[in-house]
Structure 1
Amino acid sequence: MSTDATHEYDHEELGLVAGLEIHQQLDTETKLFCESPTIERDPEKARREITRRLHPTKSELGELDQAALEESQVDREFTYLGYDTTCLVEEDDEPPRRVDGEALSVALQIADLLDVSVVDQAHVMRKLVIDGSNTSGFQRSILLGQAGEIETDHGTISVEDLMLEEESAKRVQETDDGVVYSLDRLGVPLVEIGTGPDIRSPEEAKAAAERIGMLLRSTGAVKRGLGTIRQDVNVSIAEGARVEVKGVQDLQGIEEIVRGEVGRQAELLAIRDTLRERDAEVGETQDVTNVFADTDSGVIRGALDSGGKVTAVPLYGFDGVVGRELQPDRRLGTELSDYAKRHGAGGIFHTDELPAYGVTETEVAALREAVGAGEGDAVAIVAADPETAELAIDAAADRAAVAIEGVPEETRGANDDGTTRYLRPLPGAARMYPETDVPPVEPDPSDVDRPELLDEKTDRYVESFGLDRGLAEQVAFGRRFPLFETAVDRGVDPTFAASTLESTTTEIRRDGAPVESLTDDHFLDLFDLVESGDLAKEGVPEVLTTLAENPGLSAAEAVEEAGLSGVSEDEVREAVVAVVERNADQIAEEGMGAFSGLMGEAMGALRGKADGEVVSEVLREEIGKRS
């Protein structure tokens, strides 16, 4: 087995098994268990702060979740930002209300698209949450359906379950004391879709996520934009372990994460084999502060001057292995460091990388001697306050011991570069128990209609509205297709509506216009002005830019603000005549051949105040008089 972390692995030979968990926010008016709106708020406009500390409790079966237990060892304070729309349910000062009917309807549409079997009676459950992202310490979750499937170009992928859940609070910042969360996102309805472990390649994982994303957007009732959909990936190989990677943001990232996790597990297995050949073992942790009493290392000196100490663990038979690469720029030592960081340490140093960081060769030799490490051994150290130093080195030692066994089951976080980092142990069944404050619901799939798929919608736009396929696909897969259909129903030319909603908004976004502030009413009122002749199509980009920058204006006010009020035919003719007279010599020489160049000049002179067809007609007439 290769120990090169950039190696291309044979996924079939390694026995890759993967599954997805897709989390998608629903675009409903109110939250899942209260009447608060689902809009995003500016943390700077928070009205109040709530501070809490969470503690692990046993389940109704008397069990304590391992992930919650580890989290409780990290002393953190959680601060929650509340707004003028924040209610007592979000603050966990009042019981939740009944399940939101709109959210349930959208979830049932999604169930139809996934071909899942909907339950007869759905019960609300509490799922223990250990990172402070829920004020109550748990997330409310409803199993709506099971045993579905989707089709991809790679074959059929099973859907194990469909959950309707409340979204967690949004992390705003990390502080020295803990984490600050914003309550605007807490309680937004969310569906979680879990596939079966049917995926056998990185490409298949991406295709499955792409298909599920298309099905979700087909409802026209899911939120769009960064953070509104998240993908978790469960990955294992034959001799490895199930690892859940959280927070993959995009489709390309899914493929990279699966590929990278296969490589990481393969390298960990190679390390296991090496350590077993060497009869490796992890020694007892020790206080080695005396070794560094006179150190010039900035990190260690800073810890000692603050009353801290240096702890160490001898890793017998680990020499050269701690520094072995698992993923680009991530080594076994990085994994040990991730575990140490969970307990407040800045990280670890280890002898595969020392001397460095101000640690001298003499100090390394003294360190080895102090802990009884020989030539084939390694040593890891932590410098921090006494309590942190002890907890962190114990955590690093535990992780080193697991390296002798192979790959640990754990929850990891996705990094932007396609690598992953340790977050916490995998949660167990003890984190789930019934919610007694919300009555069960009896979902009826017959109450909802099956949505039209986006690829079917594309075909219909081509056939019914005469759009070219590229533009039809842009509209169908874009977030404004409901608005497009409303506009067409009101008599707006389909091609004009589609190009405005997609092409024009893209152009003005590239020029810096904040198009996210444009509302449906902005567009519909603008279309009305064009249809009535009060605004030329050529003026649409400028008016949309004005509206985006001043969303409080009406479309008519934006036309005035942009100086694009319509002009009469006499004013058009006057402007065109001026252009023709300035270019009399060119017209005399080229005749109607001068039309194209002069058309642009005439439109520029009118600044989008006149319709291009009218300007074209007048220009041809005036050129004809002079040629």
Structure 2
Amino acid sequence: MTDFDYDDLGLVAGLEIHQQLDTATKLFCRCPTSERDPGEAVRSFTRYLHPTRSELGELDDAAVEESRVDREFEYLAYDTTCLVEEDEEPPHRLDTEAREVALQIADLLEMEPVGQAHVMRKLVIDGSNTSGFQRTALVAQDGEIETSEGAVGVEDLLLEEESAQRVEKRAGGVTYSLDRLGVPLVEIGTSPDIDSPQQAREAAETIGMLLRSTGSVKRGLGTIRQDVNVSIAEGARVEIKGVQALDDIDDIVRREVGRQVELLSIREELVERDASVGETRDVSEVFDGTDSGVIGGALGDGGSVTAVPLYGFDGLVGREIQPDRRLGTELSDHAKRNGAGGIFHTDELPAYGVTDAEVEALREAVGAGGDDAVAIVAADTETADLAIEAVAERAATALEGVPEETRGANDDGTTRYLRPLPGAARMYPETDVPPVELDPSDVETPELLTEKVDRYQSELGLGSGLAEQVAYGRRMPLFERAVDAGIDATFAAGVLESTLTELRRDDVAVGNLTDDHLLEVMRLVEDGDLAKEGVEEVLSTVAADPTLSAEAAVEEAGLSGVSESDVRDAVSEVVDRNEEQVEAEGMGAFSALMGEAMGALRGKADGETVSDVLREEIQKRA
């Protein structure tokens, strides 16, 4: 991957980090925040959403573009879904627990809380909220974090409701699940102080560590999302949404810088060629009887083929601006945004069943010469008209350089066009939720994860690797509960980090095990009612039937504790069966017989007890 002189290019970047909070209830209702399977939905309902004007009578550009394609939105509702989530009842007051966690995060980020939190409505009509807007409230401002490349300011911390989870995109609409809608979420926005891809990643890692230090954030795929704002001196601010993994952030920044550099190079060449974008037109007649399946299919269904001549663009539409993405891909993204499947353009034709003769006829129909390019869309007539206009608009911005826009992160570190950058016209006050006084005086500053690692080593005796695993792991709050309950720290850490990992590798449904299940099993061991060697089997039994208590699982697995005399009888039988080996090898036979003895007892006895008895029995016979 090409690296750049970022100082010379004038790279400026900032982060927006969205993290779900692990609270008992949602932000504006008392429904649970647990994830549900769409198959558990008990009913569904549909909505159509349209943009509304701000208090100043303005329409947001992103909302207007979203509304160009009429979509039906279906929402899956559950036995826990309430009228607030369905937008049939006004929202309740801001959740108290979520406010307290947000203030803890503000403290860790050295931010100044606002005196009152005022809830605002943010216009969103992509269907991800039943109301057509997202509710958000400013909690704190003016913080700072440190990185190895210097300080990064933290401009604002907002508390807002999470959007609905997209389940399926289908022709004419989208299906969403309401289990996620309304889960409390913090949005953290940094200042544009980041000037290298490495610093962007380090800043995100630092903020992520601080968030997890509260012990009150959700973990797992989709619970934290990073948006990255990137620009270079002659380029434009681009917001990249939905970066899921921290490992991707530096690559995303590098590739966006590369994209803007290439777009600026294309602009220079277009200016030299005195390039321009022509009028869009219907060119369906050119493709009468075509062998192209896509074009023929659209025409056969009564659709159209529309075209736009791109004068002076020959060879540039096909130029790569990111790995496997070209200027033509950018044009195609805009066509897709308006309902089309994509575009064809003359830098890649003849191909896809389009012949040389059809390409020549196409050029003639739109007045394009050898230095020009032509882009076409084949779809139903309304979609084809909308899509080719969007392509023409994007091609026109290529003459200016880099457009300001919102883009989506792809898995390979590249990005795709989503929508224009939103403006202030999409934000207005929420009149159904009263302001809330914020009092940070009672907020307890959480212990940082880095501090926990040190404490786990110095006070609890964990090794450095295990201490870090536990502190940064998803079960850290449960580990703290276990230790507070008097359970041995090393044993608890082993169960949560090693035993569960082994069970997961063996395809045990570890996700069915609740914190209470795990704590119960650890307590049984601590109380001497279950041998450590039986933990895996008991947890497997509970995972298979989560309705079982730990005690019931011990009984079902046949692992009720045995007396020392029972252990001695079992070990004696093993030694008797292997009498010749014992006489020949003495204590050298210990390892082989230990495994056999543990197998005979099937985890009913502690390994240390079995080991002591076996040594005694071998010494007697030797």
Q: Verify same fold: TM over 0.5.
A: yes
Report matched runs for 1:32-111 at 5 Å: 32-111=27-106
- Of the three residues 496, 499, 519, the one matched with 2:514 is 519
TM-aligned CA deviation for residue 372 of structure 1 = 1.1
Instruction: Write out per-residue CA displacement over residues 138-165 of structure 1, whole angstroms, 9 at most, x where no aligned residue.
Output: 1111001110011122221100000000
Counterpart code for 2:576:
E
Q: Does 1:118 align with 2:120?
A: no
**Aligned 8 A contact 1:67 1:130 in 2:** no
TM-aligned CA deviation for residue 583 of structure 1 = 2.4
Q: Does 1:200 align with 2:195?
A: yes
Distance 2:600 2:7 in 1: 66
Counterpart code for 2:457:
V
Match of 1:424 in 2: 419
Match of 2:312 in 1: 317
Q: Does 1:499 align with 2:497?
A: no
Report matched runs for 1:266-415 at 5 Å: 266-415=261-410
TM-aligned CA deviation for residue 586 of structure 1 = 2.4
- Match of 2:203, SS state, is helix
- Of the three residues 227, 237, 242, the one matched with 1:242 is 237
TM-aligned CA deviation for residue 479 of structure 1 = 2.0
TM-aligned CA deviation for residue 109 of structure 1 = 0.3
Instruction: Write out per-residue CA displacement over residues 452-504 of structure 1, whole angstroms, 9 at most, x where no aligned residue.
Output: 00110111111111111111111111122222122222221110011111111
Report matched runs for 1:153-302 at 5 Å: 153-302=148-297
Distance 2:298 2:524 in 1: 69
Report matched runs for 1:454-473 at 5 Å: 454-473=449-468
- Match of 1:405, SS state, is coil
Match of 1:446 in 2: 441
Counterpart code for 1:385:
D
Distance 1:479 1:294 in 2: 61
Distance 1:293 1:497 in 2: 73
Counterpart code for 1:422:
Y
TM-aligned CA deviation for residue 200 of structure 1 = 1.0
TM-aligned CA deviation for residue 17 of structure 1 = 0.8
Counterpart code for 1:108:
L
Counterpart code for 1:90:
E
**Aligned 8 A contact 1:341 1:347 in 2:** yes
Distance 1:171 1:237 in 2: 33
Distance 1:209 1:271 in 2: 32
- Match of 2:359, SS state, is helix
Match of 1:130 in 2: 125
Distance 2:6 2:506 in 1: 44
Gaps of 5+ in 2: none
**TM score, norm. by length of structure 2:** 0.98
- Match of 1:259, SS state, is helix
**Aligned 8 A contact 1:83 1:184 in 2:** yes
Match of 2:603 in 1: 608
Instruction: Write out per-residue CA displacement over residues 74-117 of structure 1, whole angstroms, 9 at most, x where no aligned residue.
Output: 11111111111111111111111111111100100001001111
Match of 1:583 in 2: 578
Counterpart code for 1:61:
L
Distance 2:76 2:3 in 1: 46
Moved more, 320-329 or 145-154: 145-154
Distance 1:329 1:579 in 2: 65
- Match of 2:7, SS state, is helix
CA RMSD of aligned residues (A): 1.1
Counterpart code for 2:55:
E
Match of 1:3 in 2: none
Moved more, 332-341 or 582-591: 582-591
Distance 1:510 1:618 in 2: 33
Match of 1:542 in 2: 537
Match of 1:147 in 2: 142
| Aligned residues with identical type, % of pairs | 75
Counterpart code for 2:535:
V
Q: Does 1:437 align with 2:432?
A: yes
Counterpart code for 1:201:
S
TM-aligned CA deviation for residue 265 of structure 1 = 0.8
Moved more, 273-282 or 594-603: 594-603
